[in-house]
Amino acid sequence: MTNQVYALIKILSDGQYHSGEALGKELDISRTAIWKIMNQLGQYGIYCQRLHGQGYCIPGGIEFLDEQLIQSQLNFDVKKMISKMDFHLSVDSTNQSLMARIKQGALPVLVSTAEHQTQGRGRRGRHWQSPFGKNIYLSFSWSFLDGPSKTAGLTLAIGLGIVEVLEHFGICDLGLKWPNDVLWQGKKLAGVLTEMHMDSLGVCHVVIGLGINVDLPKQAKADICQESVDLLQILNKRISRNTLFVALMNHLISLVSKFNEDGFSSFEKGWEKYDLLKNQQVMLRLMEHKIFGKALGIDCDGGLKVQHEDTVTTYHAGEISIRKKEENYEFID
Ligand code: BTN
């Protein structure tokens, strides 16, 4: 991102209208140059409005993540655990950037966040919509010395942690859809993507990435194939991204520390309270296979139990859809 683009976004982050002339004066460039920069904002997922006679505005403005503020509000114990925190304006993917550092031997806990991701990754190779300055894109690393078996259920525990944080902000009606979706009234609000790297000593380095829709512009919403929702829509008021970010860091880093000690067993009961699939007729897509059955909840490793006729099988991967009650053959994500 060039300095001029950044400077322009900073001015427009107040959510007010600014005329091309005023912007040109502030940045000491022509109105044509302003217009050219405006045309670049789309590539950062910034949807600018232009009103004749008033100028340009970013609806709702932008609250930048404030590194100093965040650092000053992190709990002492959490701060002590973090070895490095990267705040990017725009990055390919916060998960990807941490994975690269881990492979170079950087030590945990690493944290990476960004205002914008060009290649935000969702589960199963999907793209994660990451418009500039509107949502939370947060990744952090953890190293499990005893290998990958110790990470079973981690994604689920993080989903539960997100729900617990969001409830503190007064949000009810939250649910968890195995393995990684946080839903509000059936719509996707947040997702978790954990990625792993094993080193030559058998240490399992995990990158835990989470995306939370805070104020998803409607153009971005329209590009998501699943019904989605954001915090602004749920609460009908804006919550501070900085406050939410600090709450997430404080809660989730302590949670993973506990997970490291106890494994998933101490999160199982909590997760069950929010399980949206239990006792539902489901279809699980596993590679080219489709498995139909009744979801029976999760096991102590976070696997999904599915009953098919008289057999119960536990699955650790796959994509699940719930069968709509009124329609026998249609499934919703
Ligand atoms: C999902 O498909 O539900 C998982 C979405 C995870 C998105 C987050 S945003 C921060 C981190 N960086 C990425 O590229 N992906 C995760």
Catalytic residue numbers, as ranges: 123, 188, 323
pLDDT digits (tens, 9 = 90+) for 270-281: 999 999 999 999
Which of 101, 110, 128, 216, when mutated, tests ligand 1's pocket best, judged by the most ligand atoms within 8 Å of its CB?
Answer: 128
Are residues 205 and 72 part of one domain? yes
Does the beta carbon of 55 sit less than 6 angstroms from any atom of ligand 1? no
Gap between the terminal Cα atoms of the chain: 36
Domain annotation covers residue 328: no
What mean pLDDT do residues 85-111 have? 96
Task: Give the atom of ligand 1 at the shortest distance from the alpha carbon of 95.
Answer: 12
| Band (293; pLDDT cuts 50, 70, 90) | very high
Does the beta carbon of 139 sit less than 6 angstroms from any atom of ligand 1? yes
Are residues 163 and 45 part of one domain? no
Are residues 183 and 122 part of one domain? yes
- pTM score, whole prediction: 0.94
Report the CATH number at residue 285: 2.30.30.100
Are residues 98 and 79 part of one domain? yes
Does the beta carbon of 127 sit less than 6 angstroms from any atom of ligand 1? no
Are residues 288 and 180 part of one domain? no
Domain annotation covers residue 34: yes
Task: Give the atom of ligand 1 at the shortest distance from the alpha carbon of 188.
Answer: 3
Does the beta carbon of 159 sit less than 6 angstroms from any atom of ligand 1? no
Report the CATH number at residue 201: 3.30.930.10
Domain range for 289 is: 281-322
| Band (290; pLDDT cuts 50, 70, 90) | confident
pLDDT digits (tens, 9 = 90+) for 42-87: 999 999 999 999 999 999 999 999 999 999 999 999 999 999 999 9
**What pLDDT is recorded for position 327?**
47
Domain annotation covers residue 327: no
Are residues 220 and 95 part of one domain? yes
Are residues 224 and 109 part of one domain? yes
pLDDT digits (tens, 9 = 90+) for 225-234: 788 999 999 9
Domain annotation covers residue 114: yes
Are residues 189 and 264 part of one domain? yes
Q: Residue 331: pLDDT above 60?
A: no
Selected residue with higher pLDDT from 59 and 217 = 59
Does the beta carbon of 228 sit less than 6 angstroms from any atom of ligand 1? no
Are residues 148 and 201 part of one domain? yes
Are residues 145 and 24 part of one domain? no
Question: pLDDT exceeding 70 applies to what percent of the chain?
Answer: 97
Q: Residue 319: pLDDT above 90?
A: no
Are residues 307 and 162 part of one domain? no
Report the CATH number at residue 27: 1.10.10.10
Domain annotation covers residue 238: yes
Structural domains in the chain (count) = 3
- CA of 50 from ligand 1 middle (Å) equals 31
Domain annotation covers residue 257: yes
pLDDT digits (tens, 9 = 90+) for 102-137: 999 999 999 999 999 999 999 888 999 999 999 999
Task: Give the atom of ligand 1 at the shortest distance from the alpha carbon of 92.
Answer: 14
**What pLDDT is recorded for position 329?**
45
Tokens of 24: 């040109």
Domain annotation covers residue 38: yes
Question: pLDDT exceeding 90 applies to what percent of the chain?
Answer: 83
| Band (333; pLDDT cuts 50, 70, 90) | low
Domain annotation covers residue 166: yes
Are residues 187 and 41 part of one domain? no
| Band (219; pLDDT cuts 50, 70, 90) | confident
